[in-house]
Structure 1
Amino acid sequence: MEWEDVFQSQILDRGYDYYQRGLVTNLKQTSDGVQATVKGSKAYHVTVSVQNEQVVDAECNFPYAQGGKYCKHMAAVMFASFPDDEMEQATPKSQPTGLGVVQMVLSATEQQVRDFLTETLLADGDLAAKFALRVAPKNAENDRQLYLQQISDIIESYQDYSGFIDYQSAGPFEEELSTFIRENIQAALDQQHPKLAFRLINKVATKLARVDIDDSDGEIMMLAQACRDIWQQVIDQADAALKRQAFTWFQKHSQESMGAFEEDVEDLLFKNFTAPKFLQKKLTWTAEKLDDAEKDGSEWQAEQWAMFHLKTLVKLDAADDEIEGFCRAHIRYDGVRQYYVDFSLQRERYDRAIQILVNGRKRGQIDGLNGLVQKYSRQLLTLYKRLERPEAYRQELWNFVTTYSPADLEAYQELETLYPAADWPTEREKLLAALPKHADVVQLYAEDHLDQKLLQTVLAQRGLIGVQTYEKLLKPKFSRQLLQKYVAVAQQMAEQTGDRQHYRDIVKVLNKMTTFPMGMSTADHLIQEWRVKYARRPAMLDELKRFDSA
């Protein structure tokens, strides 16, 4: 068949499968080809144009088909249109409507139905497994191996010789596997077979965790969400025995590399299984994992397991003394310290909460963790304000502006409100003197209109960023000084050779100079000087002509 040449082999296989399963409906012949509807995860509308035994154009609302790609729904329509492999002799056939199918079944004898169903199920293992769920639910577990093989077959059918699923195949792969999950695993749950569903979805997840795929469009994440949904339903339906089995499985696989599924596995494990017997197991297990992580020196993992352990203690309604003892022993972890603060505040132990935050801030300073220092300081500010401790609040705010987050504008503005207007200039000078040399003081100068200091600072900076940022504020009083800064920067730029863009940037500086009094004549003088000094730079001289034309 000539038309097959435009389809990848795996797309043809999937299209033929859809055709064989009778998923092509409403098939109609058009003036230049055919159109039909194909049942997949939803109804897909397909239009195919054919000329000289070749597919010349095709459209389908399946995402994979966007951008001119040929999808399995198109292939299914072609198989339905030309089942005899001879395009010249074939005539597109209309499929029976839904009403027609019902009438055929009603008019058939019982033996005809049984014979046809037997023949169809023997030829299609997928349909046979689905049928088993409907009529022989107690035997569905016996067909588990068939389902497991189907999962492997779907994955392998999209892999190349090296086991890789490329970008073009990733979309169809995700849709087919999602369809399998929905039509088989979800069906097992709907028929109250959580044990079967659990085994199947575990197979899907462990296979996907190791598959090599270009999932640039997020295919694995979509499949991971589908797996999570099934897992949650399994847990909700599970009896005591299956819950024990599920708990053991999640616990085991939370310790393995599960790729995109790792967070879901851990999250499901800790959000579910809240019966005391499971919580006690979690408590023992998290204590062991925390100990292992601390021995390995893995701070990140240790903090993670410390929080898991702490949350389990809380769910077990452990005594306050036990929770506090654990927090004190592991307070070096930010999450634990934060919980201990909240724990103390809930019990109105405000001085203890303050001391925990003060100690955390000090530890952050020692370890050079500025983010934590600022976080704890902000929490202290909130707490001091809430408890109406104005002196402690003012001192913390002062330290925040001068040390923890130097020259923070919002904190600076808040600090100013704490002093009488007459006292602020004196306090401001003390604050500015206390700031480290690297602090960005220009925003503070601009805030209080300390124009002379602001000018000196931006003129001392390299480049023009500071000048241009505060030009509107400074220009009315210091236009001459700002123009001199532009001249100095332009001369520095001119001393460096560069590409066309470099020279265009110089012209931009010159054009900016013209907005200042005497700026045009100053720019002209520079250009005349450069034409002599840099006569061997034709590119630069050429770009300077653009200034002349401007």
Structure 2
Amino acid sequence: MNLYDFEEQIPSRIIDRGYDYWMEGRVMIESEDESTYRLIAEGSERYEVIITLTGIDIDDSDCDCPYIKGHCKHEVAAYFLLREKVAVPSNRKINQRLQNLSKQQLVDLLVGLASDPQLYPRIARSFDTSHKSFDQVIREMRRRFSEKFPVPELDYMLLPSFQSFINTRISDVLIVQDPEMRLKQGISLLIAMSDYDFEEVTELSWETADELNAAVCSAIDAISNEAILVELVNVLKAAETWMWSGLHMDLLTSLASVMEHELHVLHEYMERYRDTEEDGLATEDVETLLQMIEKRLDS
């Protein structure tokens, strides 16, 4: 069991209670001795949780509460906290350590990681240059979601596991090197999330859109093939873009800045988007962008 799969190995009622403890800030790291963590969980009583890790693997876990039927909610709360604080290092720390490695060390590191059957698919996707269509990538992403979380069966007790799954998918998108595939995978992730009609998932999609914003907009800037950008406009026509918060407007702004020969396709969509009654975004921003596009079309 590790910090990324414990939700699948512990009863959902315990996961749910531990998740609440973590979200309420009722567990904290008291001390750390090498890879052993002493945590304090505040409930009706104050309990001590001691966890020993090897990387992200949970080697040993113990809580001094009276619960004896397996892992308790205090331990689960501690797992969530450690996953956030320990298993996910900052990008800055990663960059600093990687920059100190030689080219051969980096190659050896990548080859070693690729030998792990769980990591290899993620590494392979990060260098994917197959240039599948938007439709293909969307179908594949939806399939991955439905295999893990059949839409009719998603309920509140599965939300922590769903959140963990989304975090992994976000990481998958952010490490993709090819801008075309990064754009398609990022948009497909948001579309797959829109299939789940849950308030909490809607809120999560806003957060996901914010996290993917820079990655997908920079991908647009790096794509010279306008056929791909027209594909994106057609995808936006069919997607519930209101769920994407400010990302949708940033996508339109990026498209307007790079499209040339097919700019009329974007203009047509922008007019339709502006006139949609259910649209709640800033009309002023849409109008400003439309005026900019019209000037370029007239020139």
TM-score class, shorter-chain normalisation, is: 0.5 to 0.7
CA distance in 2, matches of 1:142, 1:10: 43
CA distance in 1, matches of 2:161, 2:174: 20
Q: Match of 2:52, SS? A: strand
- Structure with more of its chain in strand, by fraction: 2
Paired position in structure 1 for 2:122 = 130
**Higher-Rg member (1/2):** 1
Could you list the per-position Cα deviations for residues 165-200 of structure 1 after superposition, in whole angstroms to 9, with x for gaps in the alignment?
A: 41x432342233123321x21111xxx311222222
CA distance in 2, matches of 1:207, 1:180: 11
Higher relative contact order (CA 8 A, sep 6+): 2
Paired position in structure 2 for 1:48 = 62
Instruction: Map 1:350-499 to 2 at 5 A.
Output: none
CA distance in 2, matches of 1:130, 1:261: 25
Alpha-carbon RMSD across the aligned residues, in angstroms, is 5.3
1:239 aligns with 2:219: no
> Kindly, what percent of the aligned residue pairs are identical?
10
Paired position in structure 1 for 2:42 = none
Q: Match of 1:130, SS? A: helix
Paired position in structure 2 for 1:185 = 173
CA distance in 2, matches of 1:61, 1:33: 10
Paired position in structure 1 for 2:261 = 277
Residues 269 and 278 (structure 1), Cα distance of their counterparts in 2 relative to 1, 3 Å cut: farther
Offset, 1:253:
1.6
Number of residue pairs matched?
Answer: 235
1:265 to 229, 248, 251: 248
1:157 aligns with 2:130: no
Contact map agreement 2:186 2:212 (CA 8 A) in 1:
yes
CA distance in 2, matches of 1:62, 1:315: 52
Residues 148 and 259 (structure 1), Cα distance of their counterparts in 2 relative to 1, 3 Å cut: same
Contact map agreement 1:28 1:35 (CA 8 A) in 2:
yes
- What TM-score results when the alignment is normalised by the length of structure 1? 0.33
- What TM-score results when the alignment is normalised by the length of structure 2? 0.54
Instruction: Map 1:22-171 to 2 at 5 A.
Output: 26=35, 34-37=50-53, 48-49=62-63, 54-56=70-72, 58-59=74-75, 120-121=116-117, 124=118, 127-132=119-124, 137=127, 141=130, 152-154=143-145, 156-158=147-149, 162-166=152-156, 168-171=157-160
1:228 to 190, 201, 213: 213
Contact map agreement 2:210 2:246 (CA 8 A) in 1:
no
Contact map agreement 2:51 2:62 (CA 8 A) in 1:
yes
Paired position in structure 1 for 2:196 = 211
Contact map agreement 1:29 1:35 (CA 8 A) in 2:
yes
Offset, 1:34:
4.7
Q: Match of 2:71, SS? A: strand
- Structure with more of its chain in helix, by fraction: 1
CA distance in 2, matches of 1:132, 1:58: 37
CA distance in 2, matches of 1:151, 1:170: 17
Could you list the per-position Cα deviations for residues 433-484 of structure 1 after superposition, in whole angstroms to 9, with x for gaps in the alignment?
A: xxxxxxxxxxxxxxxxxxxxxxxxxxxxxxxxxxxxxxxxxxxxxxxxxxxx
Q: Which amino acid aligns with 1:253?
A: L
